[in-house]
Amino acid sequence: MKKFKDLSTQTRKDFPLFCKKIDQANNLIYLDHAATSQKPIQVIEALQQYYSFQNANVHRGAHQLSAKATQAFEEARQITAKFINSKSSNEIVFTRNATEAINLVAYSWGNSQVKEKDEILVTLMEHHSNIVPWQLLAERTGCTLRYIGLTETGELDLEDLRKKVNKKTKLVTLLHISNTLGTCNPIEEITKVAHSVGALVLLDACQSLAHKKVDVKSLNIDFLAGSSHKICGPTGCGFLWGRESILEKMPPFLGGGEMIQDVSLLESSWADLPFKFEAGTPAIGEAIGMARAITYLESIGLENISSYEKNLTDYLFQKLTAIEGITILGPPPNQNINRGALATFYVKGIHSNDISELLDSSNICIRSGHHCCQPLHKYYGIESTARASLSFTSTKEEIDLFSEELLSSIDFIKRNS
């Protein structure tokens, strides 16, 4: 591993936002990478290249532009498959985002495989996108949602998982890294428990794909949902990975063009994988841009990113824990815990939005609110929190300035309340 600053020095020049002066005194400090990542120039240029010189619909046209677009689009699928170590690009279904990927499973697999009295296990730390689709499935089928609890330190309670998994369990669906707690769940262990009763496992990998190597084979999961905009790619694109043997048996999610083989006035037959699940014109440029983002991350090295961000996270916690009155959610970073590169915190008596707005006036961008995790916040008995999240472009100097301004903001609010 290179010296502490080397990774940010190597990469910040690729991001237009970090090369622009907001004013003569300040640069923007962006600490909201868990919400959406910034985009390197390589991704922006890939989008420009497609829309300037390759713009055509895929799979349908016989002309040269369509052939070029189709080749680039399918190469993007292959790059995505390799990124997560899928055995085949047929297992990659492009979607609008990770939320749509989860909904695809809930409707297609869920409607056909889940019945009344079956059970779906979800965790208390889930993003709304991995709760609401299963609530809707429960309304449609009469199945039961059961929630896996947390330990005092904000980790998944594995004993509670073992108690609740049973022969009625059809699916365990959970995130890899919590966007609020920073908890990194032990997926291999969880998968063994789920598979022991014949249940499948769906992994929300939105907070892990840009920060560590994710290998679907070694994790031994059955579905994975990923999002482009979290991995330095464009918005409006994501993907579902599923085991080919499972996807083959699932009915289509949406009907229309592209996903059909033959259509008559009375019935239709479906295209092969993965096109069965890709109705209509896809986000072609965005998928190509996502693939370019993946190759960019791989050029840096996921292991390098993970190591660098761990150092930064340790430093962030040192600075935050030195500020009196701050409570940080989730497990602290240490040698025994693999943790996400973020810190979510609150100060009793101060609304997180007030903290965020004051920091924004100093060109420091953090997140405030419930982070699409209302059940988790209710579990802790709080309405909102503030969150600082890091990436390989973040620096110790940014953390220093953030912690200084945070302390100043807290003091200002207390003096004027």
Residue positions annotated with a catalytic role = 372
> Is residue 394 within 8 Å of residue 8, measured between CB atoms?
yes
Whole-number Å distance between alpha carbons of 250 and 243: 11
Instruction: Quote the tokens at residue 182.
Output: 């920073």
Q: Is 366 left (phi over 0), alpha (psi -120 to 50) or beta?
A: beta
Q: Which amino acid type is present at position 116?
A: E
Whole-number Å distance between alpha carbons of 142 and 119: 9
Instruction: Quote the tokens at residue 231.
Output: 């991995």
SS (H, E, C) 88-112: CHHHEEEECCHHHHHHHHHHHHHHH
Q: Tell the residue number behind the tokens 């390197």, with chain if given.
A: 40
Q: Tell the residue number behind the tokens 């679907």, with chain if given.
A: 216
With 0-12 / 13-18 / 19 or more C-beta atoms within 10 angstroms meaning exposed / middle / buried, residue 22 is: exposed
Q: Tell the residue number behind the tokens 């022969």, with chain if given.
A: 167
Q: Tell the residue number behind the tokens 């592209």, with chain if given.
A: 258
Whole-number Å distance between alpha carbons of 18 and 27: 8
Indicate the SS3 state at residue 289.
helix
> Is residue 164 within 8 Å of residue 207, measured between CB atoms?
no
> Is residue 134 within 8 Å of residue 108, measured between CB atoms?
no
∠ at Cα 186 (114, 341), nearest 5°?
115
Neighbours of 52 (CB within 10 A): 9
* N-to-C CA span, the chain: 47
Cis peptide before 251 (omega within 30 of 0): no
Q: Tell the residue number behind the tokens 């923007």, with chain if given.
A: 28
